[in-house]
Structure 1
């Protein structure tokens, strides 16, 4: 946990619903560390693209990866990008359609990414990404070969400039609408893992590892 505040910039300061802003760095860490997929926003050949991708965090650096042939990853280090992570926590149902909303936790990270070329950092970044999706997997599956490492691009994004925004609680109806015979409240949303499905080519006798079985 960190009590260090986020460093506000012109594009990270909320103009509307300022009460929903979270300014401590620990809120940023919590959102990133609970997520599984981020969206990488980058301009490629003059066209904006938003790419869903896995990520990992080490301290104040976010790592994303992909093929060295991916146009988005090749273009990213030459420009400002944004990375977003969002958790949907509930559908807010109001008496009036205008006041319907969602409960959420979101983080936006801005910066110019750098292509990771140091072998040790590149391996650490890939480990962080793998462990974010499947804790414990890095120590049980085969490690990347030199050929696979050469075919993989890893980008590092500093968490120095980030914005965190959340909403929680019920609907905020107009006073006169509380007399309406319309149900109002929150429909919670939860993400859950299902039972592991084995690969059809899995050799007989290989059990589901406890770290995977325990997530269902």
Structure 2
């Protein structure tokens, strides 16, 4: 179960919240990009980046020179992941909404220094995007690892909010001759496009084709 804290307790639309930790995992594991919120040099920053999960730890990475990652080390941060599933078109403009699944994670981030955990975090990031790619492509070199920062964030303090279903109009608006319903949003992978300099005979791996 997710334990409510002053930061994760919902103020509005509380019925859309979930305390099931499996719902948190589902939102995170089916996403590709998160947004890292951090204060850097006295100013707020919200940075989009890729991520991966191992158990109850979220991993992010970037250049060792990235201002956002340097500022996040040892600091309180906020990470969000959102899926937009559709537009909810109501009979009144006020009642329009969106169907979505979202997760908000709060906590004190830490820079990962243990070599084994760093590799586990990078593997999780790679597998989040394309499962199977970590074992297929070349692993990071020592020089590349030295240029890469890996950030860890516990999933202990998190909230999940989900909205699905039809419009919810005011009672008097149901009589209006206005179309109402849901416009679903579907995202799909396209056909893999080979690198123009790829040598002849190298076929697209099965694990990439599975993403189509």
TM-score for the superposition, normalised by structure 1: 0.97
Shift of 1:160: 0.3
CA RMSD of aligned residues (A): 0.7
Q: 1:110 matched to which residue of 2?
A: 106
Shift of 1:215: 1.5
The offset of 1:214, in angstroms, is 2.0
Report the equivalent of 1:186: 182
Aligned residue number for residue 172 of structure 2: 176
2:96 and 2:167 in contact (8 A); partners too: yes
Is the 2:2–2:21 contact (alpha carbons within 8 Å) kept by the matching residues of 1? yes
Name the counterpart of 2:14: 18
* Displacement of 1:202: 0.9
Secondary structure at the residue paired with 2:73? helix
Matched, 1:101 2:121: no
Q: Report the alpha carbon displacement of residue 70 of structure 1 after superposing the two structures with TM.
A: 0.3
Structure 2: distance between partners of 1:123 and 1:113 = 17
User: 1:135 aligns to what SS in structure 2?
Assistant: coil
SS in 2 for 1:78: coil
Could you tell me how far apart the structure 1 residues matched to 2:187 and 2:69 are? 28
Question: How far apart are 1:127 and its partner, in Å?
Answer: 0.2
- Note the residue ranges of structure 1 that are not aligned, 5 or more in a row: none
For the 8 Å contact 2:69–2:151, the answer to whether it is kept is yes
What is the distance in 1 between the residues matched to 2:26 and 2:69?
Answer: 26
Query: Residue 8 of structure 1 corresponds to which residue in structure 2?
Result: 4
Query: Could you tell me how far apart the structure 2 residues matched to 1:45 and 1:78 are?
Result: 14
Runs of at least 4 residues off by over 3 Å: none
Instruction: Report the counterpart of residue 149 of structure 2 in structure 1.
Output: 153
Counterpart position of 2:191? 195
Deviation (angstroms), 1:20: 0.4
Separation in 1 of the partners of 2:99 and 2:126?
28
How far is 1:78 from its partner?
3.2
* DSSP-derived class of the 1:126 partner: helix
Q: Which residue of the partner structure matches residue 138 of structure 1?
A: 134
Cross-structure match for 2:201: 205
- How many Å separate the matches in 2 of 1:96 and 1:188? 19
The whole-number CA distance in structure 2 between the counterparts of 1:202 and 1:42 is: 40
Match of 1:30 among 23, 26, 32: 26
2:46 aligned to 45, 50, 53, which one?
A: 50
Q: Alignment length, in residue pairs?
A: 212
Please give the per-residue CA displacement for 1:158-184, whole angstroms capped at 9, x wherever unaligned: 000001101011111111111111110
